[in-house]
Copies of this chain bind each other. A is one copy, B any other.
Amino acid sequence: MKVNEDYLKLPGSYLFSTIAKKVAAYREAHPDADIIRLGIGDVTRPLPPAVIAALHKAVDEQAVAETFRGYAPDLGYAFLREAMAEHDFQARGCEIAADEIFISDGAKSDSANIQEIFGRDCRIAVCDPVYPVYVDSNVMAGRTGDYDAATGIWSRVIYMPCTAENGFVPELPEEKPDLIYLCYPNNPTGGAITKDQLQRFVDYANETGAVIIYDAAYEAYIREGEGIPHSVYECDGARTCAIELRSFSKNAGFTGLRLGATVIPHDLKTRSGDREVELHSLWARRHGTKYNGAPYIVQRAGEACYSEAGKAEIRELIGGYMRNAGLIRKGLEEAGYEVYGGVHSPYVWLKTPDRLTSWEFFDRLLEQVQVVGTPGSGFGPHGEHYFRLTAFGSYENSVRAIERIRSL
């Protein structure tokens, strides 16, 4: 029996596991330390009341034979898919139907699994820095070539640098990729993409036959009126070249409840020999064969996010986190840091001081002021000398963390 050798190519462990271990080690050495975590992108505010009420109601339905629900429909309950189609897409002028939406246990699973429906020799393009899951899932599938530990570069991955110079929106790739991963508002840089900039990628994908995998997990943080699209389907022609990933984690606080969705329009097709293949049907087959649906009670919780009460409560949740983002940004700027993000995004992206590496700055923050952030280099080579702080802490902790960092 042989193992999947591609797994063994992965350097070290998953970024957030490494951070968790470092923090655990520090805590063991300093049991009384008052550590503030602005690292992992986990939310801290409780679930909105409309969601809680929907959960209780659905749990009660599961207690009675007449209303008990077992296996969910393969692709998700119609009540949730229809709510998403209406509120997330049609209300914004995007032509997406309920049956083009696949409900899942979260955007992380989907973003890791979506590569599976593509050929093993496809080449991927990613932003650099990038959410590690896009790359690591392709490493595990044998698609990324060899790893150069000195540079942190995979030989078959096409990197699209995102830096302060280009406003964290990359140029079109020089080499031609088959799959292009984009995440906007961006994790980790907090950058946003304008509709015109995104349209360029959509046009490029349609011209070259590439597929865009668009991670819209943070769309709820977009400030209105500045031309920032909430969905790739706001662009002309996206139905023939783009898959979109949606999440309930960062808007409604579902990180511990697990709910997401993937959109694959029926117009997204390719040829295999003389056969026309809809990517929709491949993903449907994967769902039917390798997955068994998100819990009924969680899908009802998702539906509640689209009620009037739910929408208002989510706006309030996001407003609270964005208040944190604003004070983190302002505090760091006043302390002389070079700061990005935090406007259309819960992430603040800062340049490390004194030419420190990202991990050196991580250690300094943890050891000197007991604040945990995320090293930019953990997201890719062009993240080196950057550092990510999240607005997902409590207001009080955000204030205290910034006070501590300013004291450095």
Which A residues contact B (CB, under 8 angstroms)?
1-5, 7-8, 10, 13-14, 16-17, 40, 42-47, 49, 52, 55-56, 59-60, 62-65, 68-72, 74, 105-106, 108-109, 112-113, 116-122, 132-133, 136-137, 140, 142, 178-179, 209-211, 253, 255-258, 270, 272, 275, 277, 279, 282, 285-286, 288-298, 394
Give Cα A69 to B47, complex, Å.
Answer: 10
Give Cα A289 to B138, complex, Å.
Answer: 11
Q: Are B42 and A71 in contact (CB under 8 A)?
A: yes
Of the residues B3, B16, B132, contact of A119 by C-beta under 8 Å: B3
Give Cα A280 to B405, complex, Å.
Answer: 39
Q: Are B68 and A47 in contact (CB under 8 A)?
A: yes
Q: Which residue of B lies closest to A66 (CB)?
A: B46
Q: Which residues of B contact A140 (CB under 8 A)?
A: 116, 286, 289-290
- In the complex where A258-B294, A292-B258 touch, is A1 in contact with B122 (Cβ < 8 A)? yes
Max count, chain B CB within 10 A of own CB: residue among A44, A56, A105: A105
Q: Which residues of B contact A256 (CB under 8 A)?
A: 62, 68-72, 293, 295-296
Give Cα A69 to B257, complex, Å.
Answer: 9
Q: Are A137 and B13 in contact (CB under 8 A)?
A: no
Q: Are B298 and A210 in contact (CB under 8 A)?
A: no
How many chain copies? 2
Q: Are A5 and B59 in contact (CB under 8 A)?
A: no
Give Cα A132 to B290, complex, Å.
Answer: 10
Q: Can you name 28 A-B residue pairings with CB atoms under 8 Å?
A: A1-B209, A1-B211, A2-B118, A2-B121, A2-B270, A3-B118, A4-B116, A4-B117, A4-B120, A7-B286, A17-B74, A42-B70, A43-B70, A44-B65, A46-B64, A52-B59, A52-B62, A55-B62, A59-B59, A68-B253, A71-B255, A105-B292, A108-B290, A120-B142, A132-B289, A257-B295, A257-B297, A297-B297
Q: Are A5 and B272 in contact (CB under 8 A)?
A: yes
- In the complex where A2-B122, A277-B3, A295-B258 touch, is A290 in contact with B117 (Cβ < 8 A)? no
A79 CB, nearest partner CB in chain B, Å:
14
Q: Are A292 and B109 in contact (CB under 8 A)?
A: yes
Q: Which residues of B contact A253 (CB under 8 A)?
A: 68, 70
Give Cα A2 to B137, complex, Å.
Answer: 17
Q: Are A119 and B14 in contact (CB under 8 A)?
A: no
A399 CB, nearest partner CB in chain B, Å:
16
Q: Which residues of B contact A272 (CB under 8 A)?
A: 2-3, 5, 8
Q: Which residues of B contact A394 (CB under 8 A)?
A: 65
Give Cα A95 to B398, complex, Å.
Answer: 46
